[in-house]
Each structure stands twice: as structure tokens, then as C-alpha cells.
Structure 1
Amino acid sequence: MCLIAWNWQPASATPLLLLANRDEFYARPAAALHWWEGDQILAGQDLQAGGTWLGVSRNGRLAALTNYRTPGGARAGTPSRGELVAGFLQSSLSAADYLGTLQARAADYNPFNLLVCDGQQLLGLESRGARVLTLSAGLGAVSNADFQTPWPKLVALQNGLQTQITTGHTDTPSLQALLQDRALAPDASLPSTGVPLELERALSAAFIATPNYGTRASSVVRLGAGEVEFTEQRFDAQGLVGSTFQSFQRA
């Protein structure tokens, strides 16, 4: 995942509403949203390393991951960060305990941000400093930097979600439209992450589209008190290639 925004309202009928884009090379194989073997995890799957970027469990747990953008690129020989999402969904540990066990070995992985919800708490982990964050009720977001770093696309998505909530337009097509915004940020607003300016521009859109790399999945998840709904739209270099909707009652 490269861009996530959410509305966390733990006392409401829908404790968590989450929007997320996964950006990846088009050549990296992935499976569409599906129930994994054992019928307990609902997620897409990275077929190269076996993990996932966003998923939910039968009992209403959720986890999502973004990579931290570093100009030097990823280190070779490290474990897959996608296993951290699946690991939480398979675990019976609380969100706090799961991240607590992960803190000591966070540096074993290439830099990441991990968002986890156990139904009671929404927490984040920034791997670079092994920092755990307890996320307060309300809106939040994370991209390829620390949580709430105000990159233009993060601010735009979070503000757009706020507007949809305020106006009562939280239907999935309206939320998907936010995720599929291709507007580029002006150069003066671009972050400086060590990549060439042309690439920094291309990566500034919520929905990324370059010849070899771009937004591969746009997802809307509603983690209700009783029911979970998960919608995933998938893309390649030519555009939309498929859509999947799943809903189920929490165990």
C-alpha cells in the first residue's frame, strides 16, 4: 500500500472506514481479493513473496501496510513486509501486543508503516524508529513517509474523505473516485524524497499511472460492528481489469 486514509469511530455502528491504494510494478504478480486457504483471511495476495498489503479476518481484525520511500531502494535479503499484515490477521494477540513484539525486530525489514485494528484499538507502527502510535478517533492517513506527513496527496485524500462524510456521500463509488484522482501536485508542494523530479511529480498523484509502475488496487473497507464490507478495484497499465466485493458477518 502506498496511500491509506481512514475514519476511526470506535463507538459507532461502523468503527472503521478505510480507503487505500496499493502502488506496485505492473509486472509483479498478484491475486485478486479472495478468502485465503482456511477461510479466515480476506485479502489480495502478492504472488511473489506470499504476503499481502491489506486484509481483514473473520473476527473483524484489519491490517494494512505502506512502504517507506527511501532513495537508496530496498535492501536485498530481508523478509517480506507483507508477512506482517498476514501475521496480525492470523494472530490472537491484541493490536498493542502484536506491535510490541514487532518493535524489536522492525529493523530486520525494509522500512514500513503498519496499521492494525483489533476492534478495540487502531494502532500504527513506524519501523524506522520502532515507534508505536495509538491513533485517536477521527480522520487519519499515511503514505510513504511517517504517519500524517502532509504530502499533497495525503492531505487531499483526507480532506476529500472529510467532505464526503460531512455531506453524507460515503457510498463506495464516491470514495473510489477519491482514490482514483490523477491530479499531480505543483512542484512547489512536492516532497523531496531523493528521487528525480519527474518521478516525484508522477508519484504525487493519489492514483499513479506510469508505463511500468502504478496503482494496482483501490480498496474501500467498512469494518462495521457486525458486518464487514470490502471492495477492491484492480488496474494495470491499460486501466481497470477487475472488481471484487465481499461482505460477511463478523465471527
Structure 2
Amino acid sequence: MCLITFAYNHHPGYRLVLAANRDEFLDRPTAPLGYHYPGETILAGRDLRSGGTWLGMDGGGRLAAITNYRDPSRVVNPAPSRGEIILDYLRSGLMAEAFLEKFSARASRYSGFNLLLADCENLVHYSNVSDRSTRLTSGVYGLSNHLLDTPWPKVERAKMLLTRTLAANGSIDREEIFRLLADRKCPEDQLLPDTGVGPEWEQLLGPICIHSQTYGTRSSLLLTITDTGQAELCERSYRHDNGFQTVDDRCFHIDFQRG
């Protein structure tokens, strides 16, 4: 993922409301959200080039999501696929913090990343840049290609829009959240971060939703988990070759109480 905003133990009746965009080069082969691993309960999209994923969950209520840390000096080459970390966690059988205790010793082998891990008890953020894990408390958060809640314009705007949307609706308005994720308001140049990729790329990457002929927002995800363990994960996929168009919607429901 490249942008994640989420409300954790913040909206009545919901343990988690998470909205996210995946930005990628348009020619990178991808499989949409689904059960791509026979014999396993892992629900995820799939990167067909490296084999990993950007967000996944299993039938037991565990969730993992990853974002790139945008800094050319943090690139490790060669490095293992960061998308495999999600699968490693979901296959480990471990709680989030127990997994990180074992994993952190090899985290430096990867290019810079942020990781969100959830289990039936906790939601944890970890970055191999800071080499710190944080058990999150209730609130609204934002994560892009820097550390958690770094006040980039797109992060602050996404958090504001999610907070406003949840405050205006007792139930979850799926379409309103997908509209949030399609927001293309460009920040003023002086507010953009300097991550070492140059002004042109900083401008392109500035909005919540990115559109160009070679790189852009490939899909949006909305995950809701109720206090009683009912989860819904929806993905909306886009194309960019003739403007910005929705090409597919898919939703999956999981009852964690039943497994």
C-alpha cells in the first residue's frame, strides 16, 4: 500500500475501519483480491512479479499491511520482497508482537518499510527504519511512505476526510469512503515533502489518488471489522489508459467467530 488511513476502536460498533490505496506502475502484473493460496484462509491481492502482497488477512482475524518507506538511501539491493512479510506473518500462527520479536532481527535485509499487524487483541505498527514497534491505542491514524502519522498533506487530508465521514454517518458509508480514496486534490508545492525523488515525482505523488499514464492508484481497499468479529473487505480496481475509471468491485465477508 501507499496510503492507509484507519480508525481503531474509534467508531461505535467497529474495532477497525481501514481505507487504503495501492499505487504502482501500471504495467506491473497483479492479481486482484481473492484466495490465491490453495488450502489456506489468506485473503489478499497478489503481486505476480514478486509473489507477495500489500495487504492480507486470514480467517482467524489477523491482518497485515505494508507500505514502502520512500527514501532512495533506504533501498537495499538485492533484497527480498517486502510483500512476503505479510504472508510470513499470516502463516506463522503467532500473535503480532510475538511475530515482530522474531522477525525484527532480519528486518534490515529489506528496503525501508512500515508494517501494520493486527491480531484478535492488538494492532501494532513497526518500521525497519526506526526499528520500533508500537501497540496502538484508539484513534484515527494515517500512514504513507514515511513513519506513522508523519504530517504529509495527503496523510492529513485522508485522516480529516475519514474522521468527517465517520462522524456524519452512524453506519459505514462504503461509497463515501471510496470517494475519499479517489480524492485528487493536489497540495501546494511548498507543502510537499522532499523524499529524494525530485520535484516532479513529489508533485505526482502528492494527492491521495494518483493518476498518470505510467504510474497511479491501481486499487482502493476498505476493511471494516465490527466489535463482534464480522469483517468485510472490499476492493475497487482502476484503469488509467482512458482517463481514470473503475473497472471492478469485489467484496468478501468473514465471520471470525466461526473461523
Query: Please, what TM-score do these two structures have when normalized by structure 1?
Result: 0.95
- One of 221, 234, 239 as aligned partner of 2:237: 234
Shift of 1:210: 1.6
CA deviation string 1:100-131 (max 9, x = no partner)? 11211111001000001002100011111211
Residue 132 of structure 1 deviates from its aligned partner by 0.6
Offset of 1:164 from its aligned partner? 1.0
Distance 2:213 2:176 in 1: 27
CA displacement at 1:223 relative to structure 2 = 1.8
What's the CA shift for 1:68?
A: 0.3
Q: CA deviation at 1:86?
A: 1.4
Instruction: State whether structure 2 residue 130 is matched by structure 1 residue 129.
Output: yes
Aligned to 2:176: 174
Matched residue type, 2:131? A
* Structure 1 counterpart SS, 2:195: coil
Structure 2 residue identity aligned to 1:151: W
Deviates more, 1:58-67 or 1:75-84: 75-84
Q: CA deviation at 1:72?
A: 4.8
Aligned amino acid, residue 118 of structure 1: D
What residue in structure 2 maps to residue 204 of structure 1?
206
Report the counterpart of residue 65 of structure 1 in structure 2. Answer: 66
Greater mean alpha carbon deviation, residues 35-44 or residues 172-181: 35-44
User: Which 10-residue stretch deviates more, 66-75 or 163-172?
Assistant: 66-75
Q: CA deviation at 1:54?
A: 0.6
Q: In 2, distance between residues paired with 1:197 and 1:72?
A: 17
Secondary structure of residue in 1 paired with 2:164: helix
1:4 matched residue in structure 2 = 4
| 1:21-71 deviation line (CA, Å, top 9, x unaligned) | 011111111101101322401110011111110111111111100000013
Q: d(CA) in 2 for partners of 1:134 and 1:180?
A: 29
User: Could you tell me how far apart the structure 1 residues matched to 2:126 and 2:74 are?
Assistant: 20
| SS of structure 2 residue aligned to 1:163 | helix
Between 71-80 and 126-135, the greater mean CA deviation after superposition: 71-80
Provide the rounded CA distance (Å) in 1 between the counterparts of 2:102 and 2:12. Answer: 30
Contact 1:68 1:111 in 2 (8 A): yes
**TM-score, length basis structure 2:** 0.92
Q: Give the corresponding residue for 1:29.
A: 29
Long gaps (5+) in structure 2: none
Superposed, which structure 2 residues align to 1:1-251 within 5 Å? 1-9=1-9, 13-36=13-36, 37-72=38-73, 74-168=75-169, 170-224=172-226, 225-238=228-241, 239-250=245-256, 251=259
Corresponding pairs, count? 251
Q: 1 CA distance for matches of 2:10 and 2:51?
A: 31
What SS does structure 1 have at the residue aligned with 2:115? strand
Inter-partner Cα distance in structure 2 for 1:176 and 1:38: 31
Paired with 2:121 and 2:222, the residues of 1 have a C-alpha distance of 20
Distance 2:239 2:77 in 1: 26
The 1-side partners of 2:10 and 2:197 are apart by 38
How far the C-alpha of 1:240 sits from its partner, in A, is 2.0
Superposition CA RMSD, Å = 1.6
Instruction: Show structure 1 runs of 5+ residues with no match.
Output: none
27-36 vs 6-15, greater mean Cα deviation: 6-15
Q: Distance in 2 between matches of 1:174 and 1:231?
A: 13
1:207-248 per-position Cα deviation (integer Å, ceiling 9, x unaligned): 011211111110000122321101101123233221111112
Percent of matched pairs sharing the same residue? 37
Instruction: Supply the AA of the counterpart residue of 1:24.
Output: E
Amino acid at match of 2:237: R
- Output the CA distance in 2 between the equivalents of 1:204 and 1:191: 9
In 1, Cα distance between equivalents of 2:165 and 2:73: 38
C-alpha separation between the residues in 2 aligned to 1:102 and 1:194?
Answer: 28
Query: Counterpart of 1:103 in 2: which secondary structure?
Result: helix
